[in-house]
Amino acid sequence: EQNDGLCQKLTESCANQKPQQPWEKDAWEISRDTLKLDRRLGAGQFGEVWMATYNKHTKVAVKTMKPGTMSLEAFMAEANLMKTLQHDKLVKLHAVVTKEEPIYIITEFMEKGSLLDFLKTPEGNRVQLPKLIDFSAQTAEDGAYIYTHTHTHRGLMCLYLICTCLYCSLSSVVPSSVIFNTNHWVLTGAKFPIKWTAPEAINYGSFTIKSDMWSFGILLMEIVTYGRTPYPGMSNPDVIRALERDYRMPRTESCPEELYDIMLKCWKKKPEDRPTFEYMQSVLEDFYTATESQYQQQP
């Protein structure tokens, strides 16, 4: 109504102003018609992930549920849990499509895709050890945050990590109960990755913060080997039998002994002997500082 120091009195709002997104209004449900699936980014045991465009202008990631792999209740439990978890290193949930199948979970889009894929690229292969340890420390920080909210992640696999601008974020939190199948563990109908699973979870279905710490140790090996699949050359039954004999993945040439010792702490036979995520974050941050200074001193 008054210039109040402006050169000209304001008239009307800008016609090209970006429209408000539904997730900015805390309205999670959106119409499927507002999404255009552009390119499939990958597929896992639970479903597919697509790069998509929302309302013709916003790039997002869309996670779809693969029919027959997870119950609708479990899939929606993941979305509901993501609504409650807000952290700068956790991928943010934007919206859901739940009125009819296929169900969609819409999250922020991460430019470099999964950490597993990134580490296998020429760019990822040039990442030096200090940054790999930094990835690991950030993941431990994510784990510590999740456990302050009393949730287990049950999927600390490199495949479920996202990397953008050399910055890591956990991409999904998989809740729900576990039942046994003759070939694999099942999360209310979803296949569970044996090679990342702690022995007590394989044998007794005991998923705790300590079983996730075992998975974190597997993840450390994945990161330091630039995305190599754990237990190379071994099938799931081979891994189960080996773990019964207290077998542990051996150290690779690319893995410093100090980092391997950290992995072995994660793989202690007794769950109560494994460290906490807060401890791992502290140890890895110190290790990162030490290795970074060593690399900076090299000619």
What is the greatest pairwise CA distance in the chain? 81
Instruction: Concatenate the DSSP letters of all residues of 33-73 into one string.
Output: GGEEEEEEEEE-SSEEEEEEEETTTEEEEEEEEPTTTS-HH
Whether the Cβ atoms of residue 68 and residue 188 lie closer than 8 Å to each other: no
Measure CA 122 to chain center.
Answer: 22
59 annotated ligand binder:
no
206 contacts 180 by C-beta, under 8 angstroms: no
For 201-236, letters b (16+ CB in 10 Å) and e give bbeeeebbbbbbbbbbbbbbbbbbbbbbebbeebee
Instruction: Please state, in angstroms and rounded to a whole number, the distance separating the CA atoms of residues 224 and 221.
Output: 5
Binding residues: 63
Binding residues for ATP: 63
